[in-house]
């Protein structure tokens, strides 16, 4: 009898992660003999050595390891190298291969609402998720600007991918048609925080928040009230997770089941 394959997510902190819930539901729904767990990892080199030694079949990588993990892998997809962030590792008979599914997960969620080509996109933040969004939206033909509380970091990221950096004070002058929050502003427990003033958001915008807990952040509430179209963080989270599942198993992900279980958990734990 074949032993179940082991998968996991590595990060720190990791106790809050809904990846085990989502992926174990997907494995069960697809009849895969597999189990997914969370590993709190401080020593990344030792953790990746453990993946090799234990034959762990696949790994999801989250903060703060998405960039640092690259040097421990045997092969990295060109897109993940260009972004300098890996969120998915596939163990192919001892050869650890790195991918980034954040870009496609985010873009798929956005392009369900609009065609990005030629649109003015303003991205808030300059962390790992912002890297994926800036890279992806620029590639999709959007005119991209970003703003960040640490200007040096924001300027560096903008320069790297051919975007524009704007100060918070000048952001409204960019006249964004799409606004994406990649910061933690609005995440539990600071649910009343807004990353931009209410007056910034208008009915002509599409507003996306990658925060998925709470599911409807204050930013999305304000956006709805002001008549904007909204995209919640659940879509990106499930989207990138579904692509991970497909890389690991070679099977079509049960996206509906994955979304339902995460949504159910979020609603029960409001």
Catalytic residue among 2, 66, 159, 257: 66
Q: Which domain holds residue 38?
A: 5-100+235-268
What confidence tens digit (pLDDT) does each residue in 147-180 have? 999 999 999 999 999 999 999 999 999 999 999 9
Place of tokens 């931009």: 196
Examine the residue annotation and report whether 66 is marked as an active-site residue of this protein: yes
Per the structure, how many domains does the chain have?
2
pLDDT digits (tens, 9 = 90+) for 1-24: 678 999 999 999 998 899 999 999
pLDDT for 253-263, tens place per residue? 999 999 999 99
- Evaluate if residue 44 carries a pLDDT over 90: yes
How many Å apart are CA 51 and CA 35, to the nearest integer? 14
Query: Based on the domain organization, do 61 and 49 belong to the same domain?
Result: yes
13: domain CATH number is: 3.40.50.10860
| Whether residues 206 and 119 fall in one domain | yes
CA–CA distance, 82 with 176 (Å, rounded to integer): 26
Mean per-residue pLDDT, 103-113? 94
Q: Are residues 22 and 79 in the same domain?
A: yes
Residue 115 has pLDDT above 70, yes or no: yes
Q: At 128, is the pLDDT very low, low, confident or very high (cuts 50, 70, 90)?
A: confident
Q: Do 172 and 127 sit in the same domain of this protein?
A: yes
Residue 78 confidence (pLDDT): 97
One domain, residues 53 and 168: no
Q: 48 and 80 in one domain?
A: yes
């Amino acid at each position: 009898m074949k032993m179940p394959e082991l998968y996991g997510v590595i990060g720190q902190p990791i106790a809050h992660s809904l990846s085990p819930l989502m992926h174990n539901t997907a494995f069960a729904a697809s009849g895969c003999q597999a189990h997914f767990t969370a590993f709190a990892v401080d020593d990344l080199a030792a953790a990746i050595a453990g993946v090799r030694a234990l034959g762990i079949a696949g790994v999801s990588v989250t903060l703060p390891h998405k960039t640092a993990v690259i040097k421990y892998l045997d092969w990295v997809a060109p897109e993940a190298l260009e972004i300098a962030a890996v969120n998915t590792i596939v163990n192919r008979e001892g050869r650890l291969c790195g991918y980034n599914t954040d870009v496609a997960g985010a873009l798929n969620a956005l392009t369900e609402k609009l065609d990005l080509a030629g649109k003015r996109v303003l991205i808030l933040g300059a962390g790992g998720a912002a890297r994926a969004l800036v890279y992806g939206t620029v590639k999709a033909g959007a005119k991209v600007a970003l703003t960040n509380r640490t200007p040096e970091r924001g300027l560096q990221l903008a320069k790297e991918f051919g975007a524009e950096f704007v100060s918070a004070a000048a952001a409204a002058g960019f006249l964004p048609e799409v606004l994406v929050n990649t910061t933690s502003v609005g995440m539990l427990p600071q649910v009343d925080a807004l990353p931009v003033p209410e007056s910034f958001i208008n009915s002509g915008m599409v507003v996306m928040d990658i925060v998925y807990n709470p599911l409807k952040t204050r930013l999305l509430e304000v956006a709805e009230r002001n008549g904007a179209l909204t995209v919640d963080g659940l879509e990106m989270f499930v989207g990138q997770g579904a692509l991970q599942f497909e890389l690991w198993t070679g099977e079509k992900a049960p996206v509906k089941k994955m979304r339902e279980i995460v949504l159910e958990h979020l609603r029960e734990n409001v």
